[in-house]
Structure 1
Amino acid sequence: MRIVLLVFWIIGFNAAASTPNRDIDIVHYKFELILNDSSDAITGFATVTIKFNKDLNQFSLDLTGKTPDGKGMEVYSLKQNNTPLHFNHRNGNLDITLKNEIKAGTQIDIMISYRGIPSDGLIISKNKYGDRTFFGDNWPNRAHHWLPVVDHPSDKASVEFIVTSPIHYEVVGSGIKTEESTLNEKQKLTHWKEDTPISTKVMVIGAARFAIQYAEEVDNIPVEFWVYPQNKSEGFRDYAAAPKMLKFFIDNIGPYAFKKLANVQSKTKYGGMENASNIFYFENSVTGNAQVDDLIAHEIAHQWFGNSASEADWNHIWLSEGFATYFTHLYNEHTYGKERRAKDMEKERQEVVAYFKNSPLPIVYNSLPENLIDILNANSYQKGSWVLHMLREEIGTEAFWTGIREYYRQYFNKNAETADFQRIMEKASGVKLDNFFKQWLYNPGHPILDVSWKYNAKTGITDISIEQKQTGMVFNFPLEVSFYGNDGEILATEKLKVDGKKNRFSVKTAQKTNKIQLDPGINLLFESYLRK
């Protein structure tokens, strides 16, 4: 997901409603949905295939019930093998009682018939041209407003959507389209099926008037553009960079986990939403000026990190957002050079420093905010990106890429925690990374350095004094320093090992040092006060 300059409608992304259900494992969802233009009510029939992890005769799914404003879902039938089951639907939980105890390891199908007006999750509105649209917008735990699910990223399942809609809509969805049929003069049926297990946060449909361009295939993956017909020329042009981005990530990380890549102009609340195989971009991303390449790269990177290799819980969200942010920089470095990457990292460094002044929290911590939207911040995005960049500097580029590929291979279509990533990077590099992960991920803040220096003309030595002024942890890190002569020529660049509250260094140069520059390559997350 990428946040741009948007105003968010904060509607209670409840952390409590996003608790993993370890007793069951959803294997497959089949959602048969009826959309209409006469009202915002949808009719749903869900077949949920469930594997039991322990002996149970009762379990729960997440589904928003009726609310005082008349929105929410009402369940009117719930069956197992055509046998009605007792259920209790309240407080966002659909509690289901089985006829008999189900043994661990057993798999069953539950059929749920329901109807209602989504209070969220499926956004039914008008686009900027006044056309009616339907767009799934499930992140982080909003799928349960319109679908009966286990609404947590740790429970992945394959999914299919069979959508009956007014005939004038094109319907895009997760996976591959297996059928599109005219039912009568007013309705059509569209069937999308995703065989790769994905989290509910990224399984969606979209229905609107679309112009569709089938751009090209990248390693047998079709790339498509779905945009509003009123701005189709601009949209096809703005999204045109997607194939080369897809190619970069396939070549450098590993195989793409899905069977298509659709890039969709939409009504998502976010700048972009990385729905698996069909990315939704905010509708004003289409301008005709090709100014959203960073946004596109970020969302495509999510197909690897966040969609395939997914965070096991929300406090590890940096494994999704920090990765997508940094891999956007890696794509830009590959495409435009190191100067572009350095410029982007410098901007992000300032953003991390500014965020910390008001929110002195670590990237990974146990307690979650009341509203999960609050985990989208400079820690999970920009600081997470910086951690990956400093890790690359710590272990070397070759070991970094080796570890990244192995991490993706091991957690392909699975869930990971930060400790899993650390273990793999240690093995790839042969370097113990306990202190690195502790100080940058589990500890709040960053080094704040008071640096003074003096050149001794008699000895030709420049003495540098570095004191860490931040409260709390004393950081251990390498700091590159460049020394400049009177004519602006670089006399030397040294990598200094800072490992204490106060450190002193002496560097001999062939000429008088007139100026020093800290971190010329933009490789360290820090603040500094430089005094001569």
Structure 2
Amino acid sequence: MKIQKFLFISFVMLTFVSFSQNSNLYRAEKDKIHDLVHTKLKVDFNFAEKQLNGEAWITAKPHFYTTSKITLDAKSMLIHNVSMNNRKLDFNYDDFKLIIDLPKEYKKNEEFTLYIKYTARPEKVKQKGSAAITDAKGLYFINADGADKNKPTQIWTQGETEASSCWFPTIDSPNQKTSQEIYITVPNKYVTLSNGKLVNQIKKGDNRTDYWKFEQKHAPYLFFMGVGEYEIIKDSYKNIPVDYYVEKEYAPYAKDIFGKTPEMMEFFSTILGVEYPWNKYSQIVGRDYVSGAMENTTAVIHGEQAYQKPGQLIDENKQENTIAHELFHHWFGDLVTSESWSNLTLNESFANYSEYLWREHKYGKVEAEMHLFEEVKSYMNGQNFDKHLVRFNYDDKEDMFDLVSYNKGGAILHMLRKYLGDDAFFEGLKTYLNEYKYKTAEVHQLRLIFEKITGKDLNWFFNQWYFGGGYPKIEISYDYNTLRKTVTINIIQLQGKSFKFPFAIDIFEGNKRRRHTVFVEGKDASFSFPYTKQPTLIQVNADGALICEITENKVLSDYIFQLKNADNYVHRREALIEVAKKQDDKDAFNAVVAAMNDKAYKIRILALEKIDLINKFSKKDAIHKIMQMANSDEKTLVQAAAIYTLGKLTDPELKPIFEKALQSKSYSVLGKALVAMYYVDKQLAITKSKQLPDEVRQILATPLTRIFIEENDEKELPFIAKNVVSGLFLSNDDAIKVLYQKALKQISISENSEAIQNLVDDMVVKGNQYKQFNFDKVVINLMRTMIQDQKKQNTSNRDRNTEIIKEAMAKLL
């Protein structure tokens, strides 16, 4: 599963979300009393009641001990009939567990098949979701009555963690594996998607029954159904069908969004040494989806953020990492499944690392380094320091879907790869997948495979990174012996416990770089190296592999050299931030300008954001360089950043640059150009803004909001309220909604503008906690309330309210 980034942000920003691992309960693998063997379902839907009418044939067998009862998970259902071979069976049902009396005692490996007729009622489900997966009712009816003319009617399921049992009876645990077949009856206008192969379709009047069959075994949480009016765009990998289910509006762009999937399948199959193990691969986009995406075997669902137009895709396909992530799960998670949620790292950490692997393969080392940096930064900025990667004492299984299981876990795999070497690392993955295919595993089994292949004991690595928390916080100092021509690098760990780790060190003599790899053990370590001439720079953690915080004393000249010469993106970025603070120094200013040529496009963007063009050296040369970037940088995101920087100059002579940018196919460039143009030719910017197609205006809601607020354009306030509230900052968190509703009750624009100002100020002060969701919403709702009350207001009040909103929007933007 891929969690949306804004939900991860909510993890770390909202103080009322608990990530405690102080539970006294030991979260063991669920006891296997019975083994699922096969699941057969027949379902149809009651759209009016948002219910599923189902029949289930559950084939199971005792795992080891003789049994006379079986317990199935079945949440908030109506159970109409339970039988075996047409013989009714006694059962007890408490709305969560269905306990069935079997007609006799069954011994190990003695199979039996139960028949259950039931009604699934997802709206009655009592279990709650989490910040990561915002709902847990398993089965979702979207616009079931068709009342919303702007939203299609759809049905989709979400099984992870244990919500498949909201729509069919099963043993809802990741350590179960079952094959499946599903008969789905729907109105003829809808298409369906499920796991495996569509065997046949039978029409009967206005309805049709689609028969889907999946012969391999996978976990119940990976079952999927999708129903809706979709265009199916066909693709393939070798002889395997690869299909994209999208709404008609996005059919022309489906291959632009998802079209790298076959190439990913080929790359992952090759690098893992294990061919894609399933008979098809489909991806569907669901409205109002409760997370980012989900790796249902052969039937991945994406949230509607996957929908992008060419003007967005030319900047960046924001779903590409997610596409790789969910595909990689088809090896790590679907083929081999973590035996318990405590071992979730075997699913999610691998899927997270696949994003690095794909970017490294497709776009090169620098792109991969940029991605890894952002993943690690997100983890380190969170409240996650003491959390273990493998956790047996979480408060709730949903808590496992966090920045540790994803971001830190992926970075730990990268460290393991660097330590073992590529050959051993990927041979280990291949062996692991072949050893445990269609089975479940725990982290120790992964460790033992790597140990067998490499001949190395890896307990130290797994104990500190998988079964321990934190990371090294390191202080670095240097001692030079000019007589012996040696430099000693002193490494002191400042955190409570000490870590063992390999550590890459680059020593520069002039522009010549030599890399040394040392192994640090204990809190205090020192390593000496000879040099021919005094080192120009010493770069520790030179490959950027170690998860750590480093403190060292460097002067401006060190950072300038590092910005120009460091091998890893993270070190050039670090240097740029430090150099940009000292732009009163000519060399520092010139170094920032030079960084605009960096091979990492995010360094170029950061240099554009940080450059100080006020009374600086060689200002004209710098502006000329930025103009060139605005016109022709290979990355449209860099072009957009250059236009934003030029726009701050409010120089009419730059108008031709902005005019050209207004013709760009890139929405990022277009949005920045509209704002820049507004400050040199207001009328042209406003005219262009109003001429844009509605679909483009919705995508560019943020820059257009800035223009319309600056212009006091009340005619555009409905557009702002509709598009920013509905499109940018929606929260599914109940606590946020309560606070939001409370805030709205305090708003009375017609009577008390001071109260509004205090409210806005309060939201800003509490920015770290509420800004991402509430401040934005409150600002827009101030606008909406202003529209509703404007007839009651006199001109002075309305003008004052507009000023309040302008101030708030300036802080937001």
| TM, length-normalised to structure 2 | 0.61
Deviations, residues 355-396 of structure 1 (Å, cap 9, x unaligned)? 3x44511101211322x2211111111111112111111111
Are 2:477 and 2:489, in contact at CA under 8 Å, matched by a contact in 1? yes
1:86 paired to 2:90: yes
Are 1:159 and 1:193, in contact at CA under 8 Å, matched by a contact in 2? yes
| 1:507 aligned to which of 516, 529, 547 | 529
1:368 paired to 2:410: no
2 CA distance for matches of 1:227 and 1:200? 25
Secondary structure at the aligned position of 1:510 is classed as coil
| 2:505 aligned to which of 478, 481, 484 | 481
Unaligned runs of 5+ in 2: 12-16, 19-24, 124-136, 555-813
Q: Which has the larger radius of gyration?
A: 2
> Could you tell me which amino acid in structure 2 is paired with residue 325 of structure 1?
N
Q: Which residue of 1 aligns with 2:479?
A: 454
Q: Which residue of 2 aligns with 1:256?
A: 276
Percent identity over the alignment is 26
Unaligned runs of 5+ in 1: 66-72
Superposition map of 1:218-229 within 5 A: 218-229=237-248
Superposition map of 1:382-401 within 5 A: 382-401=407-426
1:112 paired to 2:116: yes
- Count of residue pairs brought into register by the alignment: 516
Q: Which residue of 1 aligns with 2:207?
A: 187
Are 1:55 and 1:102, in contact at CA under 8 Å, matched by a contact in 2? yes
2 CA distance for matches of 1:134 and 1:429? 48
Cα displacement (A) at 1:437: 0.7
Secondary structure at the aligned position of 1:35 is classed as strand
| 2:344 aligned to which of 317, 321, 341 | 317
> Could you tell me which amino acid in structure 2 is paired with residue 39 of structure 1?
E
Structure having the higher helix fraction is 2
| 1:121 aligned to which of 129, 138, 153 | 138
Cα displacement (A) at 1:236: 3.3
Cα displacement (A) at 1:17: 12
Q: Which residue of 2 aligns with 1:303?
A: 330
Q: Which residue of 2 aligns with 1:70?
A: none
> Could you tell me which amino acid in structure 1 is paired with residue 234 of structure 2?
Y
Are 1:453 and 1:531, in contact at CA under 8 Å, matched by a contact in 2? no
2 CA distance for matches of 1:368 and 1:192? 37
| TM, length-normalised to structure 1 | 0.93
Q: Which residue of 2 aligns with 1:68?
A: none
Secondary structure at the aligned position of 1:382 is classed as helix
Cα displacement (A) at 1:490: 3.6
Are 2:335 and 2:437, in contact at CA under 8 Å, matched by a contact in 1? yes
1:417 paired to 2:442: yes
Q: Which residue of 2 aligns with 1:200?
A: 220
Q: Which residue of 2 aligns with 1:69?
A: none
Secondary structure at the aligned position of 2:526 is classed as strand
2 CA distance for matches of 1:448 and 1:348? 18
1 CA distance for matches of 2:506 and 2:7? 43
| 1:468 aligned to which of 475, 482, 493 | 493
Change (3 A) 1:178 1:200: same
Cα displacement (A) at 1:508: 1.4
> Could you tell me which amino acid in structure 1 is paired with residue 508 of structure 2?
Y
| 2:230 aligned to which of 202, 207, 210 | 210
Secondary structure at the aligned position of 2:161 is classed as coil
1:40 paired to 2:50: yes
Change (3 A) 1:441 1:423: same
| 2:154 aligned to which of 133, 141, 163 | 133
1 CA distance for matches of 2:386 and 2:472? 13
Cα displacement (A) at 1:341: 1.8
Are 1:20 and 1:155, in contact at CA under 8 Å, matched by a contact in 2? no
> Could you tell me which amino acid in structure 2 is paired with residue 55 of structure 1?
T
Are 2:233 and 2:254, in contact at CA under 8 Å, matched by a contact in 1? no
Are 2:26 and 2:392, in contact at CA under 8 Å, matched by a contact in 1? no
RMSD: 2.2
Q: Which residue of 1 aligns with 2:757?
A: none
1 CA distance for matches of 2:211 and 2:224? 12
Change (3 A) 1:128 1:439: farther
| 1:26 aligned to which of 19, 24, 36 | 36
Are 1:482 and 1:490, in contact at CA under 8 Å, matched by a contact in 2? no
Secondary structure at the aligned position of 2:466 is classed as helix
Q: Which residue of 2 aligns with 1:58?
A: 69
> Could you tell me which amino acid in structure 2 is paired with residue 85 of structure 1?
L
Deviations, residues 485-509 of structure 1 (Å, cap 9, x unaligned)? 4x5x144221122111101121111
| 1:330 aligned to which of 354, 357, 363 | 357
| 1:291 aligned to which of 318, 336, 339 | 318
Change (3 A) 1:460 1:155: same
1 CA distance for matches of 2:220 and 2:149? 27
Structure having the higher strand fraction is 1
1 CA distance for matches of 2:374 and 2:538? 21
Q: Which consecutive segments of 4 or more residues in structure 1 shift more than 6 A?
A: 8-12, 15-19
Cα displacement (A) at 1:128: 9.3
Secondary structure at the aligned position of 1:154 is classed as coil
Cα displacement (A) at 1:16: 11
Cα displacement (A) at 1:354: 2.2
Cα displacement (A) at 1:234: 2.4
Q: Which residue of 1 aligns with 2:262?
A: 243
Change (3 A) 1:276 1:16: farther
